[in-house]
Structure 1
């Protein structure tokens, strides 16, 4: 099996000051396939941002990494879980008790952590 962990960056951004932008670039540098998914348009680290509102079908996902706050997650929870990720990383500020319980109830590994730190420390 390849070392790459296909990751969907939820809340991806073409804005270099956003953590989601930095995560996309770092995933790319570490050799992980990533799919940017957001309501924002543009591209990041050479990948076109897919429109979250279209709820695209994405398969073979290892990880969802969240960069949208709990106040904006409700309408996407069922869709995101339907993608059948192996794990979801709740980056700082994205923690959502309801989403976490629902994910764990479906057997999804839940990590409260920072994707950037995990990549930098080799714990991704």
Structure 2
């Protein structure tokens, strides 16, 4: 099963972890879409600056600090992903509660590590 992934907080800057993860997802042949503040392309993936109502997202991986996540709670829940990954620095107990209430699994993990160790 392809775990189509939405990267929220995607960056065009090549030294950012969100940029690395887009590249790693693509190299692992995982369908990848991205949302960020600046439009552009990373590893063939267009970074959208508008929220797209996808209907087939398996995983949302977050690269936003907890305060910046608040604006996206409803959007992420509306996507009905199978899981949300909270990468280092994005831990958010308030959002965990909302995800639990909506029966959405979440993990506090590093997407890059999960991909590198075949645990994604």
8 A contact 1:36–1:44 mirrored in 2: no
Q: How many angstroms does 1:39 deviate by?
A: 1.7
Q: Report Cα offsets for 1:38-97 as digits up to 9, x if no partner.
A: 12221111111111xx32211111000000111211111111111110000000000111
Partner of 2:118: 122
Question: Aligned-pair RMSD on alpha carbons?
Answer: 0.9
Partner of 2:21: 23
Aligned equivalents of 1:55, 1:25: Cα separation in 2: 21
Q: Does 1:111 align with 2:107?
A: yes
When normalised by structure 1's length, the TM-score is 0.93
Q: Does 1:89 align with 2:99?
A: no
Aligned equivalents of 2:38, 2:73: Cα separation in 1: 18
Partner of 1:39: 37
46, 51, 57: which one pairs with 1:55?
Answer: 51
8 A contact 2:35–2:51 mirrored in 1: no
Number of corresponding residues: 120
For structure 2, the 5+ residue unaligned runs are: none
When normalised by structure 2's length, the TM-score is 0.96
Runs of 4+ in 1 over 3 A off after TM superposition: none
Aligned-partner SS, 2:73: helix
Q: Tell me whether 35-44 or 15-24 shows the greater mean CA deviation.
A: 35-44
